[in-house]
Structure 1
Amino acid sequence: MSNKCVLCNSEKSILLKTGNKKINNFICKKCGLVYVWPTVNENRIFSYYKNGHYDSSHNVKIRFSKKRLEGIFLGANDKYNYIYKYIKKHIKNKTVLEIGCATGHILNIFKLKGFDVLGVEPSEKLAEFAKINYNVNVVNDMFENVKINKSYDLVLCLHTLEHVINPRRFLLKINKLMSNNSILFIEVPNIYKPQNSLKKFFDCSHFYTYSPKTLWNMLALNKFKIIYLDTKNSQIKAFCIKDKDIKPIIDPNEYKREITFLNRYKKNYIIKGYFISSFFRFLKYKSTILLPISLLKKIKRFKKYKKIKFNIVL
């Protein structure tokens, strides 16, 4: 099995991060897409999600307090308002499909607003939670296995695309479920805004990590055009329509920009953590006399540290 980029078909890549269990992140030198290789068997992935190994991130086992539920409802309502602002001109039949709907918080809001909703969720517990608590229609399966016989005004894909083994097949199937007036809303992590240590950011369950440019090209490859792109926060948010004539525009310098950014981010993250941990150690021991001496030592080390050049492997 060759190490080939799914976006541009190039076999020229470099190791970006060594992961657990021989699962590694590579970055394509032609287009900049970051991907896991070797790829994981799809049946294993389905089993992973179906059996609830990912459920803890959604707090399924926790009985939500009233205050917590109110917070979740308000957050879901804010997300609805954000999305609706950009899609209201495209809505005709008020139909929504969410792929990877988890506990159904977002679908519940759309349902309360009068939309006909359908969710697809591979986790049995998450799908059951959505059905019991919100009475929303949820199919418990992988999206790739689900047969859907109608088109939708809006397709939601919130933090799902990065977990998909074959994004081309996934997006082409979505394309077939949309009319020319439909909207696809995608939200994925932004490689340029990790908001954490890089070891945590490059999660082994994220088979692809996107930049705004590589996401644009992945969508264009599968005949989607981004009509609005939002990168203000740590996520990439993209509103897309179908466009049969669009083609990817590969930027050969994207991978260099990503490498430069990641090396700089890693260096700054380590330095920041170094000073913060030193400061809290000082507070713990309240050593006011030793503080100036300690800081001088840190500054000297910092000056030496700035000269260090990191390897590509994160």
Structure 2
Amino acid sequence: MPVPLGDRDQAVRWFTEERQVLLSALELAGGHGFDRHAAHLAWAVTTFLNQRGYWEDWTSSLRAALSAAVRLADDRLEAYAHGVLGFAGISLDRPDDARRHLELAYERYRRTGDLAGQARVELNLGWISDRAGQPGPALAHAREALRLHRLAGHVTGQAFALNAVGWSHAQLGDHHAAIESCEQALALFTSVDNVLGQAITWTSLGHTHLQLDAFDAAVGCYEHAVRLRREIGHRRLEADALVSLGEAHLAAGDVASARRVWRQARDIHASLEAADTDGIDAKLATLR
């Protein structure tokens, strides 16, 4: 019997309580010939597992979904599974694994004529380039993602691509173009009420203002990013925004505020399944 969930907090509590049951159901479905159910269950839990830091469960459920899609010989399901595994690989700092999955996803999206899917792959390939310190290739991928999303008429996708274009411009030192592109992204995200996109774009704007030594503006942008990431319950992204906010406070000479928000970020990292507090501990140590 369906359980009514009144708001996001109730949904998070339900997923937390039922996580092991859902994962067991996914495993049973995949093991007894209910492959489409297994794939759909994996998609149903992927956001929760990622946002709450259950990364081992996240990747294992995605692999189960991919196996189910392969057995079904369903290109669309395979493309989506490879795409999300690629995203997971980037998130967990496994770029070679991520690229392999993304290339397989792109091939299937192209075969099925899914322009928005191809655009998502381009964005993630750009993310790999950005993390490798290659802003030029990252910008090229972001522009191609924007072109494909426009062809597909996908407004949210266009917004994510515009943010990526802006971020890459910032890495290349073109701050005017970065702010212009990110403000376009923010307007689109606001028009479709996409809170995650708004949070990510406020981070890009904060980074750009920090590069321009506009410390008050940077702090304000990062505070928006923290608030919105906290609102959607994405713990890892909230911690990332707190780290950036601390850097802005420190650049502005506000050591006490930097220490406060870095401690908050550390507490979040310590609560995640794959806790890694070394980077934040090192930042805090510089303030002593």
In the superposition, the TM-score normalised over structure 2's length comes to: 0.29
Larger strand fraction of residues: 1
Greater RCO, 1 or 2 (C-alpha within 8 Å, sep 6+): 1
Larger helix fraction of residues: 2
